[in-house]
Copies of this chain bind each other. A is one copy, B any other.
Amino acid sequence: MTKLISKRSIKAGLPPGSLVHLGDNVPGRASITVINYDENDFKLNKANTAQECLSYIDPSMITWVNVDGVGDAEVIETIGRYFGLHPLLLEDVMNTDQRPKMEDYDDHLFIVVKMLLLGNGGRVVTDQVSFVLGERYIISFQERQSDLFNSVEARLNNNKWRIRKMGADYLVYSLIDVIVDNYFVILEKLGENIEVLETELVSSPKQEILRSIQTLKRDLIFLRKSVWPLREVVSGLERGESNLIAGTSRIYLRDVFDHTVHAIDTVETFRDMLSGMLDIYLSSASNRLNEVMKVLTIIATIFIPLTFIVGFYGMNFKYMPETQSVLGYPAVVLLMALVALGMVRYFRRKKWF
């Protein structure tokens, strides 16, 4: 389950730029991949330490440094020092409770987005991915190891794709595109859940449905927090003044922007639908109560007067002429039949059944 808020309080009072990992995941060793590529060549190295990683960087090619795991302050710091990154930027990389945002540091752009993954139990899990885009390099920091970027790696490895001929800005676009495309995997999953719930709601409305609706609503609240600010981030990249983004890349960013808006639309539609389902649920619950009450009322109302009558002739008065007459018994039975029939007709006319 996504936590409501992560422990930021341990940082209160520390000077700005203090590199402390804030997030759910235990800080551990980071795993680093360095890719150098240009139109003709592609080199991939895995590094165990930050120092080793730096040695793999080939300034004559475009470099992509991918860091999986942001809990190791030393790694972050070493890389940061090498590329001349601001301490606040590094702090934001390690603090995985950031809002998606884009910041322009003139000679590099800092981009924070949220990757959405399906955790166990079908709950949505958010992972923070930060990008630093320089002129000929890009650094990506992932909160956790994930295989989402493998497809981009594969495309880089194959020189038939456009990606090898274009700059670092196109690479960052490709990575964001992969992340946003993955949103739709999550949204489809949620959409399926909603449709299942809708069908269940019609066939047998139970209390558990309410809880499922609430769980979906909560997931959507967290999705919104990731998707809404992303819109501004991508729009900022597309329309921004940074010359790190080439004109040819902007047309692709516009496409990502469309997808983001589409994702937002879908989230809002889901929210509307869940509200509608809640209304249906609540009203069918109260409907069932009505029906139950009606049955009770009809049965009680028919039998109460009859029970009174039989009680009446169960009284032990010595002088009670009806009980002595031979006709008394059949007359009373007839009377009760008439009362019952009258009741039934009354309820029929009132359309109670």
Contact = CB atoms under 8 A, between A and B. Distances in A.
Nearest to A185: B9
19 contacts: A4-B269, A12-B182, A15-B163, A16-B174, A98-B262, A99-B258, A214-B276, A214-B279, A286-B286, A288-B290, A296-B300, A299-B300, A300-B304, A303-B305, A307-B308, A308-B310, A310-B312, A314-B314, A317-B322
A225 B265 contact: yes
Contacts of A258: 92, 98-99, 101
Interface residues of A, number: 112
A210 B9 contact: no
Contacts of A292: 290, 293-294, 297, 352
A316 to B, nearest CB: 5
Given A191-B4, A317-B323, A155 B299 contact: no
Contacts of A182: 12
A29 interface: no
Interface stretch (A32-40, A53-61, A326-334): A326-334
A195 B297 CA distance: 34
Given A9-B181, A101-B258, A207-B287, 8 more contacts: A9-B188, A222-B269, A225-B265, A292-B293, A300-B300, A304-B307, A317-B323, A318-B328
A59 to B, nearest CB: 27
* Majority SS at the chain A contact face: helix
Contacts of A311: 307, 310-311, 314
Interface stretch (A41-49, A71-79, A131-139, A249-257): A249-257
Contact of A278 (B9, B211, B279, B286): B279
Interface string A241-280: 0000000000110110010011001100110110010111
